[in-house]
Amino acid sequence: MPGGDPFPGAGGPANPAGPELPGSPLGDPVPTPAAGSGDDPDPRRWQPLPTQLQRAEAAGVAVTVVTRPALAHTGLSVAAYRSGAHRGADDADALATEMLGALTAGDGPTLVYGYHPEVDRHGHRSGIDSADWRSAVAEVDALVARLVDGLPPDAALLVTADHGQLDIPAEGRYDLDTDPRLRAGLRVVAGEARVRYLHTLPGATADVVAAWTAVLGEQAWVATREEAVAAGWFGPVPEAHLPRIGDVVVACLAPTVVLASKTHNPIETTLVAYHGSCTATEMTIPLLVVRP
């Protein structure tokens, strides 16, 4: 059901001195390279752990994923799902049809996961409580009603999302491409606008922490990789995965974002609402459970 971005392109790395990398944080089902193609990392190596869907299949459950067709074989889909049959659905009506069809296709235990991106997309583009956002929410309401009406008597429907969003005002927007204090000492910038992972030049980590703390103050939590790991943000981190986190982690706490208008993902500068950090608005997500 409603979930997070299928293309969190803002999570990719960007070299402050290099070219823009592709990606879209809008939840748009735009075509992307097949998983592991070109310069993209192999998602099976990037995310090597068994997924929940794989575990369900190993336990004898028939698994189906219903998403936009363009999302079927993207790197994120392979990393997150990596199992189950795929059914394409271009809109909410098709999503309901395919989910209910998959749910009743067999006789044994069945798990059907459906993803609908419109609330997330219109929140990003137009803002929370905008007319477009309200229309998308109404569409999801109708989708849920149709799924509830079609549930078999022994089934259950779980409706959730993976994050909330918040609108960011102009005064809360920082651009590291135009602020030399934020660019100093950086080798690679990763993450997204609400949480940045900064890979620093040799010996520059302490200076980067000091500079970002001075600029953002109480609007963000600025910490070294070691501090973030020790705080339990990522759970147990294998030694080989530590460099992925970056030397410095910056998590925005106020209605604030750190953009990279030229080198990272310029489309981020056009958004109204964002997500990705640790505030209650972004992390406190309801779960609706419906049983016939």
Identify the pLDDT of residue 39. Answer: 66
Q: Output the pLDDT for position 10.
A: 31
Query: Domain 170-274, CATH 3.30.1360.180 — does that match?
Result: yes
CA-to-CA separations, 116 to 30, 57, 134, 213, in angstroms, rounded: 14, 23, 15, 37
Output b/e per residue, 75-103; b: 16+ Cβ within 10 A.
Answer: bbbbbbbbbbebbbbeebeebbbbbbebb
Tokens of 277: 């950090």
pLDDT tens-digit readout, 8-38:
333 333 433 332 222 333 444 333 444 544 5
Higher pLDDT, 126 or 264: 126
pLDDT by residue (tens digit) across 160-197? 998 999 999 999 999 999 999 999 999 999 999 999 99
The DSSP result for the chain, as a single string, is -----S--GGGS-B-TTSPPPP--TT------PPTT-TTSPPHHHHS-SPPHHHHHHHTT-EEEEEE-GGGTTSHHHHHHT--SEEEE-SSHHHHHHHHHHHHTS-SS-EEEEE---HHHHHHHHH-TT-HHHHHHHHHHHHHHHHHHHH--TT--EEE--S---EE--GGGEEETTT-HHHHTTEEEEEEETTEEEEEEPTT-HHHHHHHHHHHHGGGEEEEEHHHHHHTTTTSS--GGGHHHH-SEEEEE-SS-EEE-TTTT-GGGGG-SEE--SSSHHHH----EEE--
C-alpha span between 167 and 128 (Å, rounded):
7
pLDDT, average across residues 34-55: 80
Residue type for position 248? V
Q: What does the pLDDT look like over 107-164, one tens digit per residue?
A: 899 999 999 999 999 999 999 999 999 999 999 999 999 999 999 999 999 999 989 9
pLDDT at 38: 57
Mean pLDDT of 227-235: 96
Mean per-residue pLDDT over the chain, rounded: 87
For the ranges 70-74, 163-167, 280-284, the lowest mean pLDDT is seen at 70-74
In terms of Cα–Cα distance, which of 199, 189, 180 is closest to 243? 199
Taking the C-alpha atoms of residue 62 and residue 108, their distance in angstroms, rounded to an integer, is 7
Give the bridge partners for 71, in sequence order: none
Q: Are 135 and 141 in contact (CB under 8 A)?
A: no
Provide the residue ranges of all domains of the chain, joining segments of one domain with +.
9-164+283-290, 170-274
Query: Residue 41's pLDDT is what?
Result: 80
Task: Using the predicted structure, report yes or no on whether residue 259 has a pLDDT greater than 60.
Answer: yes
